[in-house]
Amino acid sequence: MRSDSAKEIMKHWKITGYIATVVIVFAFPIYLVRIAIERSAPEIQSGPFFTGRESCVECHKKENDLWLGSHHDMAMDTASDESVLGDFNNVEFKHKGLIHRMFRKNGGFYINTEGPDGKFSDFQIAYTFGYTPLQQYLIPFEGGKLQCLPIAWDTDKEKWFHLGDTLYTDEDLKPDSWLYWTNQAQNWNGMCADCHSTNLRKNYDTVTETFSTQWSEIDVSCEACHGPASEHLQWANLPEGSRPMDVNTGLIIRTRDLDNQELLNVCARCHSRRSVMGDYPNDNEDLQNHIIPQLILQPAYHADGQILDEDYVYGSFTQSKMYEKEIRCNECHDSHSLKTLEDDNKLCLICHRPDIYDSPTHHFHKMPVEGGKHLINRDKPEYVEGTGSQCVNCHMVGKFYMGNDYRRDHSFRIPRPDLTLSIGTPNACNDCHTDKTVEWSQTYIEKWYGEKKRPHYGETFAAAHEGDPKAVPNLVLYAENELFPLMVRATAVSLLGNYDDSISRGVIERALGDPYSLIRYTAVNAYIPRDAQSLEKTMAPLLNDPVKAVRTQAAFQLSVLPENNLSEAVKKARNAATEEYKNVNLYMSDFPGARHNLGILYGNSGDLENAASSYRSALKIDNLFYSSKVNLAMIYAQQGKNADAEKLLREVIRDHPEAVQVNYSLALLLAQNGKFSESRKYFLEAIKILEGQPRILYNYALFENSQGNIGIAEEYLLKAYNSEPGNYDFIYALCTFYLEHNQKTKAVVYANLLIELFPQNPVGKQLLEMSSN
């Protein structure tokens, strides 16, 4: 059954003749009208099925009453006089010299604004999206798409505002921009829908590039968390004495008697920044069977793990002492109303002793006056008595998102002005005391709490982001010490993947066997194989990992190996996991990243035509997704289309000067094309910009050796080796270089080093024999 409101709006829209062309990234072209976003017609169903909230109310009235009016209840609704909060009484909103008009017509809600081609036209609102502190509005387009207007209603100030004023202030968005409101960044189906409705099925067709998105209930209702209720109703309708002894009362998702991790997993499928692998399967399985959480890496987070971009709680909370002490979400928030159980400090004092913590001897700030006002969820801080005594203002500093939505950091950290001084991260003191220096704040921290500073992983992560090799020992500590939070450990493993040395590789290889799936997945992703043999030996066992994210990523890693190199058992396991990997990316193929991933997979298997097609599809979705342009250039080079490849790389360097690594790619391609002088220019540019990355030094040395510049070749080989003394490739290259130029005494040194560092590899002994003859 199609959505009547969306269908009628589309009928009117087509009659007006406003047929738009479409655009890009996270984007989608406009096709024939297919908005099927409502429950399908009844059909015979096997197994548990969704029955709707009304079937729950009779027995669960208290929970239903708490839920009514909550953010879950108001997550999305059909546009009506009751649901629409914005002013559509023929009002004008001026923004950047343009006038947008909100008005009513024939009982509907309309806006006159810029459309897919940049020209103004009338669009009817189909749905409301969200409730407070802002309400957004969804407009249907052909191909089953719903798009979020960039103009939203501020429910507190009761006025219209433009999200672009805070989200992308430095960009003048054109209709071909991925961020433009009719394109993928503002597409409801792929970006928002799965967390705002119950039993959401995206139903994206990769071939036609259209959606047929469906739900069972428009908002976040009972079964969004508890799962389909049909078997629970059967259980409940039995006489009390004849009900099976089922601790979960017929529900397939267990939501009672959960520990903190189990409950967090129920919430985290939405309350996390994550990649999604498919429609939610309604089970209690490992979280990484459905989503892959974002690690606390820049630019999503500050170096010390504080929220920077939108976080949605999981990434910050899993760093916290609260999480470490097994505090559950529902010990602070009611599961149905979502409100905190108490207001202000009273919430914290449920657990924390007031005589110790709710006292100036702890926080060194004035207590609020009786009946007075204390400042929370502020815009610009104002000094009022009691502000500094509020726990959240020191331990849960927040940030505005979506223009006016103030969200607090759930990592529950102590103020650290010293980290502001050392690595530039924010601190709670100067969040309030904006007229003071960081040094002033640090002076008081030392006066009140002493001069001793605790080591913090943020210092190591900041150094690792800069590629500082001195960060490795501490990264090893954070990765392998189970006393540190899981999120911190996984992030350390990920950062070790940026270092090509034996210590980092060893940690990553050990992490492949970690009991936590997030660590295993991160290790698979960070793993850099030494050779084909080590790749197969390390990755093959993980093809049968019980967790989807792990085994599919292992299949992706192994996709570089030809089939005839694999045993039948490994081949069978890889084929099965590769099929899963394809399905994950086909599910997400409305995003350029998924098409890009498929391009890599096809390219690794030698299917160059499908690889090129996938990269072109990614660029069709987002013409700024330059990673696909770079990879497409590499495919063209493999196909002998060197001129086309060179053209693409030059375009990337011209249009994306921040993509400095492309200088290196172009240098390699130009060398292959015989343009040696220009190749040398781009090699040296890459070395300069990328501050002598060892792999670039190594390849530049090989290039100069091929040109007969032996002295330069030796100089840069030694530079590469000195940067990473344990690197197999660099040692091997030095040994063979000296053999080639009849410097056998030096070759012996590096042959012996190969034997010492890689005793299982016979190459060292072979080279030693050649050096000794």
pLDDT for the residue numbered 690 = 84
pLDDT for the residue numbered 248 = 87
pLDDT for the residue numbered 371 = 54
pLDDT for the residue numbered 348 = 96
The DSSP 8-state label assigned to residue 187 in this structure reads B
Q: Which of 449, 460, 515 is CA-nearest to residue 492?
A: 460
pLDDT for the residue numbered 172 = 79
∠ CA(21), CA(26), CA(28), 5° rounding? Answer: 25
CA atoms within 13 A on the CB side of 208: 14
> In 119-151, which positions are buried (b, 16+ CB within 10 angstroms) versus exposed (e)?
eebbbbbbbbbbbebbbbbbbbbbbbbbbbbbb
Q: For the ranges 26-30, 358-362, 764-768, which has the lowest average pLDDT?
A: 26-30
Q: Is the pLDDT of residue 41 over 70?
A: no
Average pLDDT for 550-579:
96
Give the pLDDT confidence of 288-322 residue by residue, as tens digits.
999 999 999 999 999 999 999 999 999 999 999 99
Q: Is the pLDDT of residue 440 over 70?
A: yes
Average pLDDT for 555-580:
95
Give the pLDDT confidence of 400-421 residue by residue, as tens digits.
999 999 999 999 999 999 999 9
How many angstroms separate the Cα of 119 from the Cα of each of 112, 172, 187?
10, 15, 19
Q: Which residue has the higher pLDDT, 535 or 47?
A: 535
Q: Which of 499, 552, 569, 493 is CA-nearest to residue 724?
A: 499
Q: For the ranges 34-43, 79-88, 311-320, which has the lowest average pLDDT?
A: 34-43
Q: Is the pLDDT of residue 771 over 90?
A: no
Kindly indicate the confidence band of residue 106, based on its pLDDT and cuts at 50, 70 and 90: very high
pLDDT for the residue numbered 737 = 96
Q: Is the pLDDT of residue 7 over 90?
A: no
Q: Is the pLDDT of residue 425 over 80?
A: yes
pLDDT for the residue numbered 382 = 59
**Whole-angstrom Cα distance, residue 587 to residue 619?**
18
pLDDT for the residue numbered 28 = 24
pLDDT for the residue numbered 383 = 55
Q: Is 563 exposed, middle or buried (0-12, 13-18, 19+ CB in 10 A)?
A: exposed
How many angstroms separate the Cα of 61 from the Cα of each of 54, 67, 68, 252?
10, 10, 10, 21
**Whole-angstrom Cα distance, residue 593 to residue 600?**
11
pTM for the model stands at 0.87
Q: Is the pLDDT of residue 577 over 50?
A: yes
pLDDT over 70 percentage in the chain? 92
Q: Is the pLDDT of residue 484 over 60?
A: yes
Quick one: tokens of 160?
């219209």
Bridge partners of 5, per DSSP, are none
Kindly indicate the confidence band of residue 370, based on its pLDDT and cuts at 50, 70 and 90: low
Average pLDDT taken over every residue of the chain: 90
**Whole-angstrom Cα distance, residue 770 to residue 750?**
12
Using DSSP bridges, classify how beta strands 145-148 and 98-105 pair: parallel, antiparallel or unpaired: unpaired
Q: Is the pLDDT of residue 768 over 80?
A: yes
Q: Which of 156, 112, 148 is CA-nearest to residue 131?
A: 156
Q: Which of 520, 508, 519 is CA-nearest to residue 544?
A: 520
Q: Which residue has the higher pLDDT, 648 or 434?
A: 648
Q: Is the pLDDT of residue 205 over 70?
A: yes
- Residue 314 near residue 271 (C-beta atoms within 8 A): yes
Per-residue HEC secondary structure of 476-544 comes to: HHHHHCCCCCHHHHHHHHHHHCCCCCHHHHHHHHHHCCCCCHHHHHHHHHHCCCCCHHHHHHHHHHHHH
Kindly indicate the confidence band of residue 547, based on its pLDDT and cuts at 50, 70 and 90: very high
∠ CA(758), CA(761), CA(765), 5° rounding? Answer: 95
Give the pLDDT confidence of 219-232 residue by residue, as tens digits.
999 999 999 999 99
What is the residue-wise DSSP string for 345-411? HHHHTTTS-HHHHSSHHHH-SPPPPTT-----S-SS----TTGGG-HHHHHS-EEEETTTEEEE-TT
**Whole-angstrom Cα distance, residue 297 to residue 493?**
11
Give the pLDDT confidence of 500-528 residue by residue, as tens digits.
888 999 999 999 999 999 999 999 999 99
pLDDT for the residue numbered 246 = 78
What is the residue-wise DSSP string for 403-430? TTEEEE-TT-PPP-HHHHHHH----HHH
Bridge partners of 120, per DSSP, are 114
φ, ψ of residue 124 in degrees (nearest 5)? -95, 140
- Residue 83 near residue 128 (C-beta atoms within 8 A): yes
Average pLDDT for 151-171:
90
Angle between helices 744-757 and 728-740 (to 10 degrees): 160
pLDDT for the residue numbered 35 = 33
Average pLDDT for 152-169:
92
Sorted by sequence, the CB contacts under 8 Å of residue 76 that are 6+ apart come out as 127, 128, 129, 130, 138, 196, 197, 218, 219
pLDDT over 90 percentage in the chain? 80
Q: Is the pLDDT of residue 32 over 70?
A: no
Q: Which residue has the higher pLDDT, 136 or 691?
A: 136
Quick one: tokens of 751?
């042959």
pLDDT for the residue numbered 40 = 39
Q: For the ranges 108-122, 250-264, 452-466, which has the lowest average pLDDT?
A: 250-264
Q: Which residue has the higher pLDDT, 23 or 71?
A: 71
